[in-house]
Amino acid sequence: MRGRAGGWVTSFGTALFLSLAAAPAIGIASAPDATPDQIVALLTSLHPDYHLYIGDVRYGSSRLRPETHYAGLVRPGGDDPADPEDGPVAGRGAVNDLVIYADMFEIWRTPAWRLLVADHEYFHARHLAKGFDLPVVGFGRGDVDADYYEALAWEYVVRRSAAGLYGQLGRREAAEAAARYAEHYKRFFQFVMSAQPSAWAHYGRFLPDPLRQPLPLSSAGSAPPEAPRPGAARETAPATLSAPRSPGASVPAGRTPAPER
């Protein structure tokens, strides 16, 4: 995800770091330190195959998170999700590292939110490795790339949360996740419609309109399948909009943006 400044951070983050719904002022304090082992346990509980897409889980150059994001993918050995030189790689079978921070969760966050954040990062990592039937493409603009990748990731976790996979999110958390999807969706939709309206017949298959098909905010039901909603998603996008990146090419970092204060 992204934060306000503009890199691609793990799902809860920047513009891809986009500007997100403001978090309530009550949540400034941090919960007990998050550790790599804890995040690995969350990933394992959700996806025993996570290691196919995420290599090392560790602290980065600092144990304290920046204001822009909670966590982020980096290329193997990278330290800073906000540094383009450390950005994750994409391509069939790509494996990236996940950088976390000791204070990545505010004290008011629920256990469900922690699972959602871990799953958001898993989605980014698996998507970049072409582990889903979804295009891995670039649009020639970092902000558009961020909105595309973040919209897909937020739709994924909001839908899985609504199916009961994570347990019960707090009401503010559920609203925040849905709002983040809506914001990324809106900006990406506007870009496609201005660049090549006919291309939405392709992208709209796996990015439902949050106004026409509102994503539920509650948590109930059984877990959905691993893959995003089915559709004939191709690994190439309409040529006038974008071109797929070569295997191993750097892409905007997948970060989880932090809410604006």
- Burial label for 261, CB within 10 Å (0-12, 13-18, 19+), is exposed
Asked if 60 and 71 count as a contact pair (C-beta separation under 8 A), the reply is no
Predicted pLDDT at 244: 37
Would residue 245 count as lying in a domain? yes
Q: pLDDT tens, 49-79?
A: 999 999 999 998 878 777 777 899 999 999 9
Give 24's strand partners.
none
Between residues 242 and 170, which one has the greater pLDDT? 170
> Per-residue pLDDT tens for 174-203?
999 999 999 999 999 999 999 999 999 999
Report which secondary-structure segment, H or E, holds 90.
Answer: strand 89-90
Domain membership of residue 6 (yes or no) is: no
Domain of 122, in residue numbers: 25-257
For residue 18, being part of any structural domain is answered with no
Contact 240, 196 (CB under 8 A): yes
What per-residue confidence (pLDDT) applies to 103? 86
- Is 4 inside any structural domain? no
**C-alpha dist (Å) from residue 205 to 56, 134, 209, 233:** 33, 10, 10, 8
Quote the mean pLDDT of the chain. 77
* The residue type at 152: L
Measured distance CA(154)–CA(64) in Å, rounded: 24
Higher pLDDT, 82 or 255: 82
Encode pLDDT of 207-252 as tens digits: 999 988 655 544 333 333 454 443 333 333 333 454 333 334 444 4
Q: Please give the pLDDT value at position 214.
A: 55
CB 245 within 8 A of CB 94: no
Could you report the per-residue pLDDT of 83-99, keeping only the tens digit for each? 889 999 999 999 999 99
Q: What amino acid occupies position 35?
A: T
pLDDT for the residue numbered 226: 52
Q: Are 255 and 128 in contact (CB under 8 A)?
A: no
- Note whether residue 8 is domain-resident: no
Quote the distance between the C-alpha of residue 84 and its chain's center. Answer: 17
Q: What is the DSSP letter of 205?
A: T
Domain count, the chain: 1
The answer to whether residue 1 sits within a structural domain is no
Q: Fill in the amino acid letter for 97.
A: D
Classify residue 7: in a domain, yes or no. Answer: no
Q: Is residue 11 part of a domain?
A: no
Phi-psi map region of 46: left, alpha, beta (phi>0 left; psi -120 to 50 alpha) = alpha
